[in-house]
C-alpha cells in the first residue's frame, strides 16, 4: 500500500483548521495527572502519540475523561496507583522519555515498555541520569522494557547530555517530587532549547517552581512540591500547520489556516513558532486575516529564496524546510542537524531522496545544503514510517511532474491525523493506492523505523522467480569446478567476475574464467601439487584469487587462503601447520612486500617451513617485482610468466576431478583462546551453505554479489565467491577498501547483495551521507562478523534503502542463523537471525539441559554444514562438540519464542574487532614479557564502527611506565598483525581479582565502556 501524490499545475485553494499542539497536550496531561484535583485541558489533540500518553496515564490509575473538546484529568496528587504491572508508551518517544522516571511515583514496581520495535530504542543516558537522581530501575540492555521501583527519588546532582530535550524534560518533570534538592546539569551541546522552555513554562503554570540558568544548562529544583490544578486551552500546532504553509508556498495559492491568529510569539506559545519566521524570510507571503480567524497565504506565483538556519532549536522542521528550500532560488544551509538524525528515522538522509527526483541536496554529518531547482520528476520514495518524512516528501511531490508513491501511507496519523483530508481540501490530491485507509493492525502504526522501507524503492524491486533449482541438497551434489564448467557452456559470454581496480575495472566472462582456471590448475600440477595437498595463497580481492581457488579445487587440492594483513609471524604459523609446498603472494600489499617477508621466514626456519615454490603476482600491470635476495631453496616464479609457459592437458585435469566429500578448504581461526586452529571443510558443506543462504533470502538470477570482505576470510570466501558461483551470477571484487569507490562500483555494476562486517556497513553509510549518492540497486546487506549497533542498522536501512539482515556464523559451522527481508524490522536487524532450514539451535545450562525461550545460556547448534574437524587436533575437535553431537559455539545467547537468536556474551574472553577475533591470551602474554609490565589484562571497549576494540589495562613494574607508543613498538617487534594491537592503554594499580586469583574482566570492561581509542587503529 502506498500514498499516491499527483503533481499539480493548478492553484491550491481552501481553508483548513490547524489542530491543537501535541507538545502542550503531552505536558498538560502529565502535569495534570500529578496535581491533587481536577484539571481541564481544552482543545483535544487527535494525534496518536497523545493518545498513547492518555492510555499510559490511565494504566497508572489516572482517571481521564472527555467533555466535548476538553480533557478532564483527575489528578492523583503525585502518587500513581498502577492498574497493571506493565504499562506501554506505544510508539511515542515523548511518552517514553517523560514517563520512565515518573513511574517511580507509583505505589509499586512498574515495567515501562512500548511497541515491539520500541524495545530496541536505546535510552541509556536517560537511565543513568535517573539512577543519579535515585530512581531504582533495571534494564537488560538500556532499552525498554525498564522495570522501575515504586519509590520516590532522592534527588541530588544529576548530569545529562544535551542531545535530546525530551531526556532533560523527563528529569525536570520528576525532580519536584524528589525527597531533597535536585540540580540537573546539561553536558555537551544543548539542542532543542525551545522544547525545554515550553516544559519549564508549563511546569510553572501548574505551580511547580525551578530555577534556570541564563544559558539553560543548569536547573535547580526544590523537593517535595505539589502540582496545582489548572484550566487551560491548547494552542494551535505549528508543526502540523507547517505542511499547509509549505503546500501554499510551493504553488499559486489562496489558503487560510484557521486557528493561527498571530505572527508574533515565542517558545512558550509553541516550540516551533520560529518556523513561521523562517518561512517568511524565505518569501512565503503571510498575513493574519482577523475576520476569518486565521493565517492566510495568497500568491499568484511562488518567489522563494534560500535561507541559512541553525536547526538546534527547530529540529523537527528540517524535513519540511528542506522541501521548501528545494524550490527556492540559491542555496539554503541547514546547520547543526546531527541530532535530527536520531529521530524516528535519519531525517536528513531520508530527505536526500529528493535527489532521485532531480533535487540538489548535499549532506554531511552535521549540515544539509539544498540548492534550489525549478522542477522535480516523480519517483518512488520511502517514508521510513516517519510521519514528518511522509508528509514533507508528499508536499514536495505535489510540485513534481507525474505521480509519486510513498511507503507507509498512514504514518501521518501519528501526529497529524487530518493531513490527507486537509491536503485534498486544498486541491492538492493525495490518495492511498487502493483508496482505503489502513488500521493499526494492518501496519499503519507499527512504529518501525527506516529499515521497514525494504521492498519499496527502486533498489528493492520484487525478486523474479528463479529458473534454476538451487536447493541445498541438490546443490551439494555438485562441486564448484562442475558448476563453473556448466556456466561456461551455457552462458560463455556473460560476466562471472568483475575486478574493481583503482585504474580500471576488469570483466571476466564464464568462458574466460574456466580457461584461466584450467591453466592455473595445470600450473599447480607442474609445481608438484597433488590431490589432498594444501595450496596456500595470500592475495587481496582479485580475479586471480577466484582463479587460484577454483584451480586448486579442479585438481582435488585444498584451498588454504591467508588473510592479506597477516605478517611474518602469523603466515609462518599457517605455512608450518598446513605443510603447503606452494605459496602464491602479491609482490606488494599497501606498504609491504609480502614476497620479501616470506623469504625472511625461509631464512629463519630453513627447510623446516616446508615451502618449495613461491609464485609472485604483480599488484600492477606487467611482471611481478621479485625479491632481490636469495630464495633460500625456494623457487621463485612470476605468476603471468609461469602461466604463459604452462601446457594445459584437460584430460589429465578431468581425471583428478574431486568428489563433494573431498576437503576443499583449510582456514585458520584467529586463535582467540590460544594458537590458531585449522578448520577443514569439505566441498559439500561449502556448496550447501551457500545454497541455504540463497534459498533463505530468495536470491535470484538477476542478482549481483558485491564482495568487499577479504576473500581469505570465510565471509568473503563463502558468502561472496562461493555463493556467486553456486547461484551463477557475477561477483564484484574490491581489492582495497575505499567506501567512495565501493559506492561507485555498486552502481556501475548494479550490485544487489552483500555480506560483510560492521565497518563496511558503517563506512558505506558515511559515504552515502557525504556524497548524496545512493546504491540504486542494493537489496540486501547481511551484516556478520560482529554485532551491528542497532542505531547503525536502523540508520543504514534508511540511508542505503536496503534490508540490513542480522546473522550468526562461524568458520566451523558456516551460517547457522539469518534473518530475512520479510522479517519485522525489530527481528531483521535487532537479532542475529533464526535458524536456516536444516539447522537446529538450542540454549543449554552448564549441565546440558535445554533452557526455555528468552533464557540466557550456552548457545549450541546442529547443522549439516559443521566442519570435519581441526587439522591434526582431534582433542580440540572433540572438545568442540557435546556428547550428543551439538557444536559448542562458546557464546552466550537467548532464543525467543519466534526462534530469533540474540548473542548476549561470550563464554570465553574474546574481542570481536569488526569481525576479526583478537587473540586476547596471546596479546596478554606478549605484553607481559615487556620489562615495564608487572601485570596485564586485555578487554573489549565498545566501538561504534568496529563493534569492539582492544584496551590493555597494565600494572607498571617497579616504577617503570609502558607508554602507548612503546606498547605498539613491542608488538610490532613480535610481528603481530596491527588489527590485534590494543588501541587504548590504561595504567592501573592492580587488576581486580576474585578470591581464587582470577582476573575479574567484567569490572575492567565496565571501566573501558566509556573509553575511546588513542588513535584510529589499522584497518
3-state secondary structure string across 60-129: CCCEEEEECCEEEEECCCCCECCCCCEEECCCCHHHHHHHHHHHHHECCCEEEECCHHHHHCCCHHHHHH
Provide the strand spans (E) within 461-557.
495-500, 505-509, 534-538
Domain span at residue 916 reads 911-1008
Instruction: Kindly indicate the confidence band of residue 630, based on its pLDDT and cuts at 50, 70 and 90.
Output: low
Tell whether 33 is covered by a domain: yes
Are 129 and 175 in a shared domain?
Answer: yes
- Does residue 289 share a domain with residue 428? yes
266 vs 276: CA distance, rounded Å: 11
User: What percent of the chain has a predicted confidence (pLDDT) above 70?
Assistant: 91
Cell of 478: 555438485
User: What is the chain's mean pLDDT, rounded?
Assistant: 87
217 and 244 belong to one structural domain: no
Same domain, 222 and 245: no
Percent of the chain with pLDDT over 90: 59
* Residue 245 forms part of a structural domain: yes
Task: List strand residue ranges (DSSP E) for 563-711, in order.
Answer: 582-586, 613-617, 635-638, 663-668, 678-682, 705-707
845 is catalytic: no
Query: Exposure of 17 by Cβ count < 10 A (0-12 exposed, 13-18 middle, 19+ buried)?
Result: middle
d(C-alpha 842, C-alpha 858), whole Å: 8
Extract the C-alpha cell encoding 914.
569488526
Question: Does residue 959 surpass a pLDDT of 70?
Answer: yes
Task: Name the phi and psi angles at 516, rounded to 5.
Answer: -65, -35
CATH of the domain at 984: 3.30.300.30
Residues 435, 438, 442, 448, Cα dihedral to 10°: 110
Is 826 assigned a ligand-binding role in the annotation?
no
The per-residue pLDDT for 995 is 44
User: Is a pLDDT exceeding 60 seen at residue 257?
Assistant: yes
Q: How large is the average pLDDT for residues 498-508?
A: 87
**What region does 953 belong to: left with phi over 0, alpha with psi -120 to 50, or beta?**
beta
Is residue 340 in a domain? yes
Least confident of 184-198, 278-292, 809-823, 1003-1017: 1003-1017
Q: Is 404 annotated as a binding residue?
A: no
Grade residue 48 by pLDDT with cuts at 50, 70 and 90. confident
Q: What is the pLDDT of residue 69?
A: 82
**pLDDT tens sequence across 975-1001:** 888 989 999 999 998 888 654 445 778
Cα 229 from Cα 73, distance rounded (Å) = 9
What's the pLDDT score for residue 242?
A: 95
Q: Give the pLDDT confidence of 430-478 residue by residue, as tens digits.
A: 998 643 322 222 233 333 333 323 222 223 333 333 334 346 887 888 9
Flag whether pLDDT at 599 surpasses 60: yes
Secondary structure E strands in 481-591: 495-500, 505-509, 534-538, 558-561, 582-586
Q: Quickly state the pLDDT bin for 1 (edges 50, 70, 90).
A: confident
- Which of 685-689, 794-798, 938-942 has the highest average model confidence (pLDDT)? 685-689
Name the pLDDT band for 780 (thresholds 50, 70, 90). Answer: very high
What mean pLDDT is predicted for residues 667-673?
A: 67
**DSSP secondary structure, 389-434, as one string:** HHHHHHHHHTTEESEEEEESTTGGGGT-TTHHHHHHHTT--EEETT
For the chain, the distance separating the N- and C-terminal CA atoms, rounded to the nearest angstrom, is 43
**Highest mean pLDDT pick, 168-172, 380-384, 486-490:** 168-172
Mean pLDDT, range 328-337, rounded to an integer:
94
Q: Which range is least confidently modeled, 7-21, 372-386, 631-645, 784-798?
A: 784-798
Distance (Å, whole) CA 408 – CA 398: 18
Residue with cell 536456516: 836
pLDDT digits (tens, 9 = 90+) for 635-669: 999 999 999 999 999 999 999 989 999 999 999 98
Do residue 150 and residue 265 come from a single domain? no
Radius of gyration of the chain (CA): 31
- Per-residue pLDDT, 542: 94
Contact 843, 882 (CB under 8 A): no
Higher pLDDT, 269 or 463: 269
The three-class DSSP label of residue 43 is: coil
Q: How far is CA 591 from CA 587, 663, 671, 792, 983, in A?
A: 11, 34, 26, 32, 21
Of the two residues 674 and 699, the one the predictor is more confident about is 699
Per-residue pLDDT band for 670 (boundaries 50, 70, 90) equals low
Do residue 363 and residue 393 come from a single domain? yes
Phi/psi of residue 305, nearest 5 degrees: -130, 160
The pLDDT of residue 595 is 83
Is residue 817 in some structural domain? no
* More confidently predicted of 880 and 909: 880
DSSP state of 329: B
343 inside domain? yes
pLDDT band at 941 (very low <50, low <70, confident <90, very high): very high
pTM value?
0.53
Tell me whether the omega of the peptide bond preceding residue 483 falls within 30 degrees of 0, making it cis. Answer: no
Does 372 score more than 60 pLDDT?
yes
- Could you say which of 269, 313, 316, 386 is catalytic? 316
Q: Considering the domain boundaries, does residue 27 fall inside one?
A: yes
The annotation status of 121 as a binding-site residue, yes or no, is yes
From 233, 260, 295, the end of a domain falls on 233
Q: Is residue 651 part of a domain?
A: no
Of 233, 254, 271, the one marking the end of a domain is: 233
* 90-94, 243-247, 488-492, 762-766: least confidently modelled range: 90-94
In terms of domains, do 386 and 421 share one?
Answer: yes
Whether residues 247 and 172 fall in one domain: no
Read off the pLDDT band of 676 (50, 70, 90). Answer: confident
Q: Which region among 139-148, 462-471, 873-882 has the lowest average model confidence (pLDDT)?
A: 462-471
Residues β-bridged to residue 844: 850, 858
CA-based nearest residue to 755, from 813, 799, 695, 711: 711
Taking alpha carbons only, the member of 945, 910, 935, 947 closest to residue 986 is 935
Q: Which is it for the CA torsion 338, 380, 120, 81, positive or negative?
A: positive
Based on the domain organization, do 33 and 142 belong to the same domain? yes
CA dist 295 and 129 (Å) reads: 42
* pLDDT confidence of residue 622: 66
**Is 504 annotated in some ligand binding site?**
no
Look at residue 598 in the predicted model and tell me its pLDDT. 86
d(CA 294, CA 263): 10
343 known member of a binding site: yes
pLDDT at residue 904 above 90? Answer: no
* Residue that wins the pLDDT comparison between 1 and 657: 657
Task: Kindly tell me if the per-residue pLDDT of 326 is higher than 60.
Answer: yes
* Predicted local confidence at residue 455, as pLDDT: 29
Residue 274 clears pLDDT 50, i.e. is over it:
yes
pLDDT value of residue 614: 93
In a domain, 845, yes or no: no
- Dump pLDDT digits (tens) for 710-749: 999 999 999 999 999 999 999 999 988 888 889 989 999 9
Question: Per the annotation, does 149 bind a ligand?
Answer: no
Mean pLDDT of 149-177: 94
CA-angle at 968, arms to 967 and 969, nearest 5°:
90
| Count: domains in the chain | 3
| pLDDT value at 564 more than 50 | yes
Contact 814, 837 (CB under 8 A): no
Pair 77, 93 in one domain:
yes
- The annotation status of 165 as a binding-site residue, yes or no, is yes
193 and 312 inside one domain: no
Output the pLDDT for position 411.
86
Residue 27 labelled as part of a binding site? yes
pLDDT at residue 1014, rounded to an integer? 83
The pLDDT, as a whole number, for residue 244 is 96
pLDDT tens digits along 58-72 = 999 999 988 878 999
CB within 8 A of 235, min separation 6: which ones?
A: 20, 21, 24, 43, 269, 270
Position 419 pLDDT exceeds 90: yes
Overall residue count recorded for the chain in this entry: 1019
Asked whether residue 740 is marked as a ligand-binding residue, the answer is no
What's the pLDDT at 438?
27
Looking at the structure, tell me whether residues 7 and 62 fall in a common domain: no
Q: Is position 677 annotated in a ligand binding site? A: no
Residue ending a domain, choose from 436, 457, 478: 457
Residue with cell 625461509: 602
Task: Give the pLDDT band (50/70/90) at residue 893.
Answer: confident
Check which CATH number belongs to the domain holding 343 and give it. 3.65.10.10
Top-confidence residue, 266 or 558 = 558
Encode pLDDT of 513-557 as tens digits. 999 999 999 999 999 999 999 999 999 999 999 999 999 999 999
1-15 b/e with 16+ CB inside 10 Å = b? bbbbbebbeebbbbb
Amino acid at each position: 500500500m502506498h500514498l499516491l501524490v499527483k503533481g499539480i499545475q493548478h492553484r491550491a485553494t481552501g481553508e483548513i483548521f490547524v489542530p491543537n499542539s501535541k507538545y502542550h497536550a503531552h505536558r498538560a496531561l502529565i502535569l495534570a495527572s500529578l496535581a491533587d484535583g481536577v484539571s481541564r485541558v481544552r482543545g483535544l489533540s487527535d494525534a496518536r502519540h497523545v493518545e498513547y500518553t492518555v492510555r499510559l496515564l490511565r494504566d497508572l490509575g489516572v482517571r481521564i475523561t472527555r467533555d466535548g473538546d476538553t480533557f478532564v484529568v483527575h489528578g492523583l496528587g503525585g502518587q500513581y496507583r498502577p492498574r497493571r504491572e506493565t504499562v506501554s508508551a506505544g510508539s511515542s518517544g515523548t511518552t517514553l522519555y517523560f514517563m520512565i522516571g515518573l513511574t517511580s511515583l507509583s505505589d509499586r514496581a512498574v515495567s515501562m515498555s512500548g511497541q515491539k520495535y520500541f524495545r530496541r530504542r536505546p535510552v541509556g543516558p536517560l537511565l543513568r541520569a535517573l539512577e543519579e537522581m535515585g530512581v531504582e530501575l533495571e534494564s537488560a540492555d538500556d532499552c525498554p522494557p525498564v522495570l522501575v521501583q515504586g519509590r520516590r527519588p532522592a534527588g541530588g546532582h544529576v548530569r545529562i547530555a544535551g542531545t535530546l530535550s525530551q531526556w532533560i524534560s523527563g528529569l525536570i518533570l520528576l525532580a519536584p517530587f524528589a525527597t531533597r534538592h535536585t540540580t540537573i546539569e546539561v553536558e555537551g551541546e544543548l539542542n532543542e532549547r525551545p522544547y525545554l522552555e515550553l516544559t519549564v513554562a508549563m511546569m510553572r503554570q501548574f505551580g511547580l517552581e525551578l530555577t534556570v540558568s541564563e544559558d539553560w544548562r543548569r536547573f535547580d529544583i526544590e523537593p517535595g512540591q505539589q502540582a496545582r490544578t489548572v484550566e487551560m486551552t491548547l494552542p494551535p500546532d505549528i508543526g502540523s500547520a507547517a505542511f499547509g504553509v509549505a503546500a501554499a508556498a510551493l504553488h499559486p495559492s489562496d489558503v487560510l489556516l484557521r486557528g493561527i491568529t498571530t505572527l508574533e510569539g515565542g517558545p512558550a506559545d509553541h516550540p516551533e513558532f520560529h518556523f513561521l519566521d523562517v518561512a517568511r524570510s524565505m518569501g512565503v507571503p503571510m498575513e493574519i486575516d482577523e475576520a476569518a480567524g486565521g493565517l492566510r497565504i495568497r500568491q499568484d506565483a511562488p518567489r522563494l529564496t534560500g535561507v541559512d538556519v541553525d536547526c538546534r532549536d527547530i529540529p523537527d522542521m528540517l524535513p519540511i524546510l528542506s522541501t521548501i528550500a528545494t524550490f527556492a532560488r540559491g542555496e539554503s544551509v541547514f546547520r547543526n542537524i546531527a541530532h535530527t538524525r536520531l529521530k524516528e528515522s535519519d531525517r536528513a538522509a531520508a530527505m536526500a531522496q529528493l535527489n532521485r527526483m532531480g533535487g540538489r541536496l548535499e549532506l554531511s554529518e552535521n549540515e544539509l545544503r539544498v540548492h534550489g531547482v525549478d522542477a522535480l520528476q516523480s519517483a518512488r520514495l520511502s517514508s521510513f514510517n516517519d510521519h514528518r518524512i511522509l508528509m514533507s516528501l508528499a508536499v514536495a511531490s505535489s510540485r513534481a511532474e507525474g505521480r509519486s508513491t510513498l511507503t507507509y501511507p498512514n504514518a501521518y496519523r501519528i501526529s497529524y491525523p487530518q493531513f490527507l483530508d486537509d491536503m485534498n481540501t486544498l486541491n492538492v490530491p493525495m490518495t492511498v493506492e487502493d483508496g482505503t485507509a489502513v488500521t493499526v493492525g494492518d501496519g499503519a502504526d507499527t512504529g518501525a523505523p527506516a529499515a521497514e522501507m525494504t521492498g519499496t524503492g527502486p533498489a528493492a524491486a520484487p525478486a523474479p522467480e528463479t529458473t534454476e533449482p538451487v536447493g541445498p541438497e541438490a546443490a551439494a551434489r555438485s562441486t564448484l569446478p562442475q558448476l563453473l564448467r556448466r556456466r561456461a557452456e551455457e552462458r560463455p559470454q556473460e560476466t562471472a567476475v568483475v575486478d574493481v581496480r583503482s585504474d580500471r575495472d576488469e570483466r571476466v566472462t564464464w568462458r574466460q574464467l574456466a580457461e584461466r582456471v584450467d591453466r592455473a590448475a595445470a600450473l599447480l600440477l607442474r609445481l608438484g601439487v597433488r590431490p589432498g595437498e594444501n595450496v596456500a595463497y595470500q592475495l587481496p580481492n582479485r580475479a586471480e584469487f577466484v582463479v587460484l581457488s577454483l584451480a586448486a579445487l579442479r585438481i582435488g587440492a585444498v584451498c588454504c587462503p591467508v588473510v592479506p594483513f597477516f605478517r611474518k609471524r602469523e603466515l609462518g604459523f599457517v605455512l608450518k601447520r598446513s605443510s603447503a609446498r606452494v605459496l602464491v603472494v602479491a609482490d606488494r600489499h599497501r606498504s609491504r612486500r609480502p614476497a620479501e617477508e616470506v623469504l625472511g621466514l625461509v631464512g629463519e626456519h630453513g627447510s623446516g617451513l616446508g615451502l618449495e615454490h613461491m609464485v609472485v603476482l604483480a599488484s600492477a600491470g606487467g611482471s611481478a617485482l621479485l625479491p632481490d635476495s636469495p630464495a633460500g631453496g625456494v623457487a621463485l616464479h612470476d605468476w603471468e610468466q609461469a602461466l604463459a609457459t604452462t601446457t594445459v592437458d584437460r584430460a589429465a585435469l578431468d581425471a583428478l576431478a574431486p568428489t563433494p566429500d573431498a576437503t576443499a578448504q583449510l582456514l585458520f581461526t584467529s586463535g582467540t583462546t590460544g594458537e590458531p586452529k585449522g578448520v577443514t571443510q569439505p566441498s559439500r558443506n561449502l556448496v550447501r551453505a551457500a545454497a541455504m543462504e540463497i534459498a533463505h533470502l530468495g536470491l535470484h538470477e538477476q542478482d549481483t554479489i558485491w564482495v568487499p570482505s577479504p576473500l581469505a576470510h570465510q565471509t568473503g570466501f563463502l558468502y561472496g565467491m562461493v555463493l556467486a558461483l553456486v547461484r551463477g551470477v557475477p561477483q564484484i571484487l574490491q581489492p582495497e577498501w575505499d567506501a567512495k569507490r565501493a559506492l561507485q562500483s555498486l552502481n556501475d555494476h548494479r550490485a544487489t547483495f552483500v555480506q560483510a562486517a560492521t565497518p563496511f556497513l558503517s563506512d558505506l553509510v558515511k559515504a552515502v551521507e557525504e556524497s548524496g549518492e545512493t546504491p540504486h540497486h542494493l537489496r540486501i546487506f547481511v551484516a556478520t562478523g560482529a554485532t551491528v549497533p542497532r542505531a547503525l542498522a536502523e540508520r543504514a536501512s534508511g540511508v542505503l534503502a536496503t534490508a540490513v539482515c542480522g546473522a550468526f556464523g562461524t568458520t566451523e559451522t558456516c551460517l547457522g542463523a539469518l534473518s530475512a527481508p520479510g522479517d519485522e524490522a525489530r527481528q531483521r536487524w535487532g537479532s542475529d537471525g533464526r535458524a536456516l532450514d536444516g539447522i537446529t539451535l538450542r540454549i543449554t545450562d552448564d549441565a546440558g539441559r535445554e533452557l526455555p525461550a528468552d533464557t540466557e545460556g550456552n548457545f549450541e547448534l546442529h547443522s549439516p554444514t559443521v566442519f570435519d574437524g581441526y587439522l591434526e587436533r582431534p582433542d580440540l575437535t572433540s572438545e568442540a562438540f557435546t556428547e550428543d553431537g551439538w557444536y559448542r559455539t562458546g557464546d552466550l545467547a537467548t532464543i525467543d519464542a519466534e526462534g530469533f537468536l540474540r548473542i548476549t556474551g561470550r563464554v570465553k574472553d574474546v574481542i570481536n574487532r569488526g569481525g576479526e577475533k583478537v587473540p586476547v591470551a596471546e596479546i596478554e602474554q606478549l605484553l607481559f614479557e615487556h620489562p615495564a609490565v608487572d601485570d596485564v589484562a586485555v578487554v573489549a571497549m565498545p566501538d561504534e564502527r568496529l563493534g569492539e576494540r582492544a584496551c590493555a589495562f597494565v600494572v607498571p613494574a617497579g616504577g617503570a611506565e609502558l607508554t602507548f607508543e612503546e606498547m605498539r613498538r613491542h608488538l610490532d617487534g613480535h610481528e603481530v598483525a596491527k588489527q590485534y594491537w590494543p588501541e587504548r592503554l590504561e595504567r592501573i594499580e592492580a587488576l581486580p581479582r576474585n578470591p581464587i586469583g582470577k582476573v575479574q574482566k567484567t569490572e575492567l570492561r565496565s571501566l573501558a565502556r566509556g573509553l575511546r581509542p588513542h588513535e584510529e587503529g589499522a584497518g
